[in-house]
């Protein structure tokens, strides 16, 4: 089910993103024989990608694994906290740019606020400092759904940037993303709220 469609007048970047999304529907050897469903496809400007993410988190029943470069959107943070309160296992790994980067003297205030809200809600949050940039934008939901794309979990992604977001329904794909999430979480440091 597609929730956000390509506008009739779309940019070259949006066309490239649409082609990438269509390419995901082509069988690849690692997943051959297994149907992969594109649950949603969204673009900004024009689409409510934040709404798609919040809706998907709201459907979570067991687990949400988050891996994010920019993690500042209040609606997404609230949806994750609400999921935790419903009994969903929520775990987050973010890039260091959200709190304090070693190469920058100033913390990104909204990222530190989001990290603090998440940890005070009892959600484990780790900072990935191993890579120069931990640039993933991924959520794995209930072991069978993946949210990914260029869309950062931020207001800028929704309101100011040209971005894309895919929601893929497939256990094998979700398993691969969850394995990658665990690898990054394994070398990340637990965040200590100040």
- The catalytic site residues sit at 135, 137, 142
CB-based contact 166:41 (threshold 8 Å)? yes
Phi-psi label, residue 36: left if phi above 0, alpha if psi -120 to 50, beta otherwise: beta
Phi-psi label, residue 184: left if phi above 0, alpha if psi -120 to 50, beta otherwise: alpha
User: Taking the chain, what is the end-to-end CA distance rounded to the nearest angstrom?
Assistant: 42
Strand partners, 64: 90, 141
Residues in contact with 129: Cβ distance below 8 Å, sequence separation at least 6, in sequence order: 96, 102, 188, 189
């Amino acid at each position: 089910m597609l929730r956000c469609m390509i506008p009739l007048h779309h940019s070259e970047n949006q066309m490239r993103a649409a082609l990438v999304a269509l390419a995901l529907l082509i069988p690849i050897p690692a997943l051959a024989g297994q149907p992969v469903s594109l649950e949603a496809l969204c673009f900004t400007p024009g689409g409510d990608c934040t709404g798609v993410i919040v809706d998907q988190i709201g459907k979570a029943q067991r687990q949400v694994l988050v891996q994010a470069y920019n993690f500042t959107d209040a609606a997404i943070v609230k949806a994750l906290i609400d999921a935790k309160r419903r009994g969903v296992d929520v775990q987050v790994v973010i890039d260091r740019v959200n709190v304090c980067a070693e190469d920058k003297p100033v913390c990104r205030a909204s990222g530190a606020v989001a990290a603090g809200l998440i940890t005070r809600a009892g959600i484990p949050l780790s900072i990935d400092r191993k890579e120069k940039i931990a640039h993933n934008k991924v959520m794995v939901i209930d072991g069978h759904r993946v949210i990914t794309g260029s869309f950062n979990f931020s207001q800028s992604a929704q309101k100011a940037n040209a971005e894309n977001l895919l929601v893929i329904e497939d256990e094998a794909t979700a398993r691969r993303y969850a394995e990658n999430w665990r690898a990054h979480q394994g070398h990340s440091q637990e965040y200590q709220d100040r």
